[in-house]
Amino acid sequence: MQEYSGKVCQPPEGYIVIVVARFNKSISQRLLDGALAKLRQHNVREQDIRVVWVSGAYETPFIANYFAKDPDCLAVICLGAIIKGETSHDQHISRAVSMALWEIASKTEKPVIFGVLTCDNIEQAKARSGVIESVKDKSINPAPGNKGAEAAEAALEMIDLLTELPLVKSDSLLAIPGMILQMANSLFSSGIFDDDDDDDDGYHEHEYSNEDYSTVRRIFVPHQTKRVKKIAKKNTKKQTKNKKK
């Protein structure tokens, strides 16, 4: 049996993004203070922390996606507070944000932490964004109930876990854009890659550029380089003749 576990520790080279919702700022500021205190506690450098303020929790996935696509970004922490009102608006926002953040994490294979409070009232939000003041140096430290600190802790743990996991082999064909796959299927079905050099049936039905042939050759048929070059040359001659006409 193989077992993997991440540690809450100083992350490797890269930066961490904290996306904070300005709506209910009195709460989100306390969450941010807790997250920053936790990152500093584990020696994350100031230049490796990027804080981005957005108008509300609903806008956090957009910025999360923007940064998560960057290879240098280690993780994205999303903070905010959605507090129940007189309507069901909070439920729709909470559901949309949580689902969007999960999709971003799944798509980018990057830790995207959901640190957005979903509370019935302001008292619950305050209890989950608690801060304590150090008597010694008057600095703000994360209190046991600060969900911002917990979100930062989760991010650090996930970053470390990813460094411990083995590389997973994936089928390269699955990563090829659908357009390339479609083009390749069309080429193969046309008989363009048949072994018989004299059989070009179906060749004239498809007008692709030399770059297209190069892409398909590199991905699908590396052993038929000469064959594809020959066909690409014929294609160029045919296009030249058509232009003259």
Say what angle helices 25-41 and 147-164 make with each other, to 10 degrees: 40
First to last CA, the chain: 70
Of 145-159, 179-193, 195-209, the range with the highest mean pLDDT is: 145-159
CB half-sphere exposure, 182, CA atoms < 13 A: 3
Homologous superfamily of 15-164: Lumazine/riboflavin synthase (3.40.50.960)
Selected catalytic residue, list 89, 92, 204, 206: 89
Report yes or no: 200 and 42 within 8 Å, Cβ to Cβ: no
Find residue 53's DSSP bridge partners.
20
User: Which residue in the block uniquely carries the two structure tokens 């990813």?
Assistant: 162
- Among 23, 127, 130, 33, smallest CA distance to 80 is for 23
Find residue 80's DSSP bridge partners.
116
Q: Stretch 13-30: mean pLDDT, rounded?
A: 95
What pLDDT does residue 105 have?
95
User: Which residue in the block uniquely carries the two structure tokens 């989760």?
Assistant: 154
Q: Is the pLDDT of residue 19 over 50?
A: yes
Task: Look up the pTM and report it.
Answer: 0.66
Torsion, Cα of 28, 29, 34, 37 (10° steps)? 150
Angle at the Cα of 119 from the Cα atoms of 39 and 134, rounded to 5 degrees: 35
* Alpha carbon distance 92, 77 (integer Å): 21
223 is catalytic: no
Report yes or no: 51 and 16 within 8 Å, Cβ to Cβ: no
Q: Stretch 161-170: mean pLDDT, rounded?
A: 80
Say what angle helices 89-108 and 60-68 make with each other, to 10 degrees: 0
pLDDT, one tens digit per residue, over 199-241 is: 444 444 444 455 554 444 444 444 444 444 555 566 666 666 6
What pLDDT does residue 65 have?
97
CB half-sphere exposure, 145, CA atoms < 13 A: 12
Domain definitions of the chain by residue range: 15-164, 172-244
Q: Is the pLDDT of residue 64 over 70?
A: yes
User: Which residue in the block uniquely carries the two structure tokens 């479609």?
Assistant: 182
